[in-house]
Amino acid sequence: MSTLIKNGAIITAADTFQADILIEQGQIALLGQSLEVDGAEIVDASGKLVMPGGVDPHTHLELPFFRTVSSDDFYTGHRAAAFGGTTCHIDFANQRKGESLHEALAKWRQLAEGKAALDYATHVSITDLRPSVLDEIPSLLDEGVTSLKLFLSYKDMYMLPDGDILKVMAVAAELGMMVLVHAENGDVVDMLTRQFVAAGKLSPEYHALSHPAWSETEATLRAIALSSVADVPLYVVHITCAGAVDQVSYGRARGLPVMGETCPQYLFFTADDLRRPDGAKFICSPPVRTKADNAYLWEALADGRIQAVGTDHCPFLFDGTKPLMYDGEEYRSPGKESGGGDFSKTPNGMHGIEDRMLMLWTYGVGAGRFSANRFVALTATNPAKIFGLYPRKGTIAVGSDADLAIWNPEARKTVSAATHHTRADHNVYEGMALVGLPEKVFVRGELLVDGENWYGRRGNGRFLHRQPNAPVL
């Protein structure tokens, strides 16, 4: 069966043009003016924008964390993503202490199997570097995994010492793999957290105070310096502050293959939000910072100092003592309340997989901060390129998967937990206005979202094998 999307304005990272799109066997078969195809199902996109579905390079579905698990699984998270115009994502298979990387990957794949409605891939996080773990890195390529995540923070949990980071980077460099880093200084965070807890300073704002911007700035430069020694491409995840942006710029200005990502929460919120009565909703790591940092990040997205927007999607219920009705079923899971008012015990994380493109469209493109083409680059094309999914994903071109979102630029909505699709009992953007929304979302040519209707199916999503030696943007 073929589908013909007619009369839409196509927006890619490079171009805006009027054309029809013919979809055959899940791929874009033809782009052209006034196409006529016998028997094709016609989708009229007059007055609408047709964009590549979003690629979210940073999510944590069903992540076990802080004695609970993030509240979106591979089905609910995919459903939420699709309603937000995102059609593909890259999650993290996190190695636990004592585990091999392949065990971590197999466990993670089991979680996704049978649930996924979107296509998906994974990075592998290394948290316990034994010689046997170093030896198994090359065989991850056979599993289609081309990127490794390392932590400079979460001491005694995920953090690796610099020597181990360098060892992994050297192996990754030889294999054409990309290294991702969580860049905060784990010793700084550990010491400050202990001090605040000992002093009885437990409220959410101390989460931000125990994760200062200088700790992120220092760790970002350290990671860049180590990556230059190992000569490996580096992707700094969830940049929150001006100092870290400047370190990425410093490296890039010296020709280093360094790229940076920020997330919507760092564009909209500040440590003041942690002082709200519901401040625990805003606890994420690294923390939300200042208005000046928000503004600096918006500018860095517009002028190219930052290359991608991910979400670090890792939602928890605000009040997990109450069941949440989701899609006709009761859902229960310990949430932010499980920290008992102690920031150091509160699950870190925020939702974003559904909100990312919606918020960036209205408050990025709509507010005149950057063009629609830049929006596509930041949310789809660049993540696909950086992580070896391009041109299969992340663009509109003949031969690409027909992962498309048809946006109505006039549609309006107010963000609300009452109407969102994320499995969470709150939305941090509650009450904010959206102008311009995806109306129809396709994955490999199949209609998943049509207005408020959901046609996605469990198990239809495919695991994506990626290629190493992806370009550095």
- Contact positions toward Zn ion, by CB under 5 A? 312
Cβ proximity to Zn ion: between 312 and 355 the closer is: 312
Cβ proximity to Zn ion: between 5 and 126 the closer is: 126
29-44 as b/e: b if 16+ CB within 10 A = bebeeebebeebeebe
Least CB distance to Zn ion at residue 58 (A) = 6
Amino acid identity at 338: S
Least CB distance to Zn ion at residue 60 (A) = 6
DSSP-based three-state secondary structure for 227: helix
Cβ proximity to Zn ion: between 78 and 440 the closer is: 78
CA 136 to chain centre: 26
Cβ proximity to Zn ion: between 12 and 285 the closer is: 285
Cβ proximity to Zn ion: between 58 and 393 the closer is: 58
Least CB distance to Zn ion at residue 48 (A) = 33
Cβ proximity to Zn ion: between 56 and 312 the closer is: 312
Least CB distance to Zn ion at residue 64 (A) = 14
Cβ proximity to Zn ion: between 312 and 403 the closer is: 312
Residue with tokens 């939305």: 427
Dist CA 473 CA 468 (whole Å):
15
| DSSP strand pairing (433-443 vs 446-450) | antiparallel
Least CB distance to Zn ion at residue 312 (A) = 4
Residue 425, both tokens: 């009992």
Dist CA 305 CA 200 (whole Å):
40
Angle, helix 101-112 to helix 131-140, in steps of 10 degrees:
50
Residue showing the smallest CB distance to Zn ion in the complex:
312
Cβ proximity to Zn ion: between 185 and 311 the closer is: 311
User: Closest Cα partner for 313 from 420, 167, 198?
Assistant: 420
Cβ proximity to Zn ion: between 352 and 394 the closer is: 352
Q: Which residues contact 418 (CB under 8 A, 6 or more apart)?
A: none
How does DSSP assign 92-114, residue by residue? EEEPPTT--HHHHHHHHHHHHTT
Residue 48, both tokens: 């609408």
Least CB distance to Zn ion at residue 372 (A) = 27
Least CB distance to Zn ion at residue 416 (A) = 25
Dist CA 276 CA 282 (whole Å):
9
Least CB distance to Zn ion at residue 89 (A) = 12
Least CB distance to Zn ion at residue 254 (A) = 27
Cβ proximity to Zn ion: between 125 and 381 the closer is: 125
Sign of the dihedral through C-alpha 399, 401, 406, 412: negative
- Adjacent-strand bridge partners of 124: 93, 148
CB 384 within 8 A of CB 55: yes
Least CB distance to Zn ion at residue 10 (A) = 32
User: Closest Cα partner for 284 from 224, 216, 191, 219?
Assistant: 216
Dist CA 90 CA 382 (whole Å):
13
